[in-house]
Amino acid sequence: MTRRVLLITSSIFGEGGQSRALAESFKAALQGRDVELTERNVVEQPLPHLTGAEMASWMTDPAERSDEQRQLAEVSDELLSEIDACDLLVLAVPLYNLGIPSQLKSWFDRILRAGRTFQYTANGPVGLLEGKSGLILAARGGMYAGTEMDSQTPHLRHMLALIGIKDVDAIYAEGLNMGDERKQQSLTEARQAIGHYVDSHF
C-alpha cells in the first residue's frame, strides 16, 4: 500500500544546510519504495507572520467571507490539505537560537487551527488528525538532545500532539560545529539511523 509522506524543510541555508542534508538522506532512503512524497520548503515558499485578520478569516463562515478573507483562508487551507493527505509528517529542522526557525513557526501557526485540527473540550484540547505519525530530523551545532537545553524537541512534540500526532520519532545530528571529525561522525550516524527507520517503517 502506498504511504503518503509530507516532508517539511526549513533551513535558511538551502542546499548547504545540514537539516536539508538529513532530508536528502531520507529521500534517498525512500528510493524504490511505494511512497507518494510531497515536499514543502517553508523558506523558499515563505509564509508571513500570522495576523489577526487571517485568523479571523478562519472563524468566519465560508459563505460569509469577503474576497480578502477567502484569499487569507486559502493559505491555511492549502497547508491543511497537504497534512490531511499524509500518513507520515517529516520535519527537517535546524536549531536556531535554541528554537525552531521562524518560518517553520509560521507554518505551524496555520495548521494548529481550533475546530479544524484540534478542538477544545471540558478536559482540554483534543487532536483531530488521527492515524498519522511524525519524524523529526534535527540538525544542531552543539550537543543538546536529552538535556534541559533542548527546548526544541519538546516544543515540536507538544505542537504535533495538539493536533493528534503523538507517535513521533526523532533522529539527531549534533555537534556539527564541534570539529570536522565530530561532524562527519554525527552525520554518518544520522544517515544510518534514517536508513534503519525507513527499513522498519516502509
DSSP assignment of the chain = -PEEEEEEE--TTGGG-HHHHHHHHHHHHHTTSSEEEEEEETTTS--PPP-HHHHHHHHS-GGG--HHHHHHHHHHHHHHHHHHH-SEEEEEEE-BTTB--HHHHHHHHHH--BTTTEEEETTEEEE---S-EEEEEEE-SS--TTSTT--HHHHHHHHHHHTT--EEEEEEE--TTS-HHHHHHHHHHHHHHHHHHHHHH-
Residues annotated in the binding site for FMN, as ranges? 11
Residues annotated in the binding site, as ranges? 11
Locate 158 and state its grid cell. Answer: 507538544
